[in-house]
Structure 1
């Protein structure tokens, strides 16, 4: 497979690796971007890169909460100009409130009527009116004793670039108070799962392979190599334990008080986190690069 300059650029941006290292990684892995990331990590040339770091799109996340039920929806637009449009924001607000009341699945929401029309038709009308493609892409529902929301980079009340929902079990007032802190923590740290038990098994296996290859390679090139037993019984398990702690919500150091984990902070507050959702604009969508002048011209219909 031909390795293009754009591929090298993308890999460099997602891993922080040098140009030649990125090119070599892509060559060694026949252009497979995820394998190239792992190759660089094995060589100690990059940190783990989450897919969300390599993709982008515009739009807004709308969130709403009521009576132990929370919803977060993502509506994408082509440019950030439209995301700042009052008409677009009102549509996001209306669809979010509708999702909270009647939402079940994304398909059900699209078919539900808003102001006399299915939501899907409401969006189609907005596309014609505003002149830019839009998509109702995702919806997350979360239920629990107490559901708290948080919006990061808010564009207006209840909508922004990152929306977080967290379900907390315990005394309502305390749960809402510390739940907001947990939601802010989630927005900042982007945990992959609630706990080790809910972490994707394939992801864990991939990480184990990377850490094993890295540890063995480091040991082979060391002037004082360690016994295999030390590598397999101490070093690799230690690195995996760190991976689990960094990527599970309950295992992470609480950003409000780094001396304790999120799990410990919850226990000290007399509450239990039972679930969460973090939705960021553009996760999983490749954004076509476009210069600023072209983007302005597009919004003006030029």
Structure 2
């Protein structure tokens, strides 16, 4: 006779051949791990982490996490099996190249910089057409930053986020929506120099005159950082004052007159970095600054944007 012990209970059974299937004791069931009946709660942080990895839409990421019980790596694999997450392995690559696109309506204009890895892709006609499509979408959605545009959709209903992921998959390089800007005014113009430098100008007056100003902005070196003196970032001004105060010909002067010297030397900074104070570079024979040039042409400038690779 043979005896077997299962779950602490001794059960009689036949020897070797013709063994009967034993019925587990109640104790066996009590020791078996319980299977979870409810899926793991998916948090917003989980969804964001997967989105950062893959570049896919939030809903797609949530669906993948739900399907894999919240396991991030399994969710990435799940998406890759669907052909949706090939951008994941490219996400860490540097994006030092790119292209600029602009879109203009009667009273507004948008500029978009989409970064990629190489000049080879940035010069690709399909890539450049896609960047223009992004600018048109930014204009239609009135998106004035990258987050706003990423949340928008193309005319066919595809999200911008999904569109970028699809382009990554197609062209094989990491891409990043680096900058998005919008201007509005009575008259709006833009100038795009080969997808490398783009400028938008809003104001009043003849569009041709304002376009000359846009060309000036694209060509200016150093580039303008503000429209007027009052628009200059205070932190930038303080840094400039700090640099000027350390110059030997300023530091050697009596302390009580240094502030006046510093403010005087800021005049050069304004002429180099403030748009309306810069010498006009286009259609200007008498050396007038941008403000004087616009006034002489019965034009006004109310806003500008400059983006560059």
Judge same fold: TM > 0.5, yes or no.
yes
Which residue of 2 is the match for residue 130 of structure 1?
171
Please give the secondary structure, in 1, of the residue aligned with 2:267.
helix
Pairing 1:147–2:188 present: yes
Pairing 1:242–2:268 present: yes
Q: After TM superposition, list the pairs within 5 Å mapping 1:31-110 onto structure 2.
A: 57-105=96-144, 106-110=146-150
Q: Distance in 2 between matches of 1:207 and 1:87?
A: 43
Which residue of 1 is the match for residue 38 of structure 2?
none
Question: Measured at CA, do residues 218 and 120 of structure 1 come closer, stay the same or move farther in structure 2, by a change above 3 Å?
Answer: same
Please give the secondary structure, in 1, of the residue aligned with 2:241.
helix
Q: Distance in 2 between matches of 1:168 and 1:141?
A: 13
Q: Deviations over 1:248-293 (max 9, x none)?
A: 0011111132621111111111111000000112xxxxxxxxxxxx
Which residue of 2 is the match for residue 299 of structure 1?
none
Q: After TM superposition, list the pairs within 5 Å mapping 1:1-302 onto structure 2.
A: 57-105=96-144, 106-114=146-154, 115-152=156-193, 154=194, 160-170=195-205, 174=206, 176-189=207-220, 190-214=223-247, 217-218=248-249, 231-233=258-260, 235-256=261-282, 257=284, 259-281=287-309
Post-superposition shift, 1:122? 0.8
Q: Distance in 1 between matches of 2:246 and 2:116?
A: 42
Q: Distance in 2 between matches of 1:211 and 1:56?
A: 35
Gaps of 5+ in 1: 1-54, 155-159, 282-302
Q: Distance in 2 between matches of 1:226 and 1:112?
A: 57
Post-superposition shift, 1:206? 0.9
Aligned residues: 210
Question: Measured at CA, do residues 108 and 213 of structure 1 come closer, stay the same or move farther in structure 2, by a change above 3 Å?
Answer: closer
Question: Measured at CA, do residues 231 and 104 of structure 1 come closer, stay the same or move farther in structure 2, by a change above 3 Å?
Answer: closer
Post-superposition shift, 1:56? 8.5
Q: Distance in 2 between matches of 1:103 and 1:260?
A: 35
Question: Measured at CA, do residues 227 and 277 of structure 1 come closer, stay the same or move farther in structure 2, by a change above 3 Å?
Answer: same
Query: Using CA pairs below 8 Å that are at least 6 residues apart, which structure has the higher relative contact order?
Result: 1
Q: Distance in 1 between matches of 2:253 and 2:306?
A: 41
Please give the secondary structure, in 1, of the residue aligned with 2:196.
strand
Post-superposition shift, 1:219? 5.9
Q: Distance in 1 between matches of 2:158 and 2:208?
A: 38
TM-score normalised by the chain length of structure 1: 0.65
Name the one with the larger helix percent.
1
Question: Measured at CA, do residues 108 and 219 of structure 1 come closer, stay the same or move farther in structure 2, by a change above 3 Å?
Answer: closer
Q: Distance in 2 between matches of 1:65 and 1:82?
A: 25
Gaps of 5+ in 2: 1-93
Q: Deviations over 1:125-153 (max 9, x none)?
A: 1111111111122210100010110012x
TM-score normalised by the chain length of structure 2: 0.64
Larger Rg: 2
RMSD of aligned alpha carbons: 2.1
Q: Distance in 1 between matches of 2:169 and 2:198?
A: 27
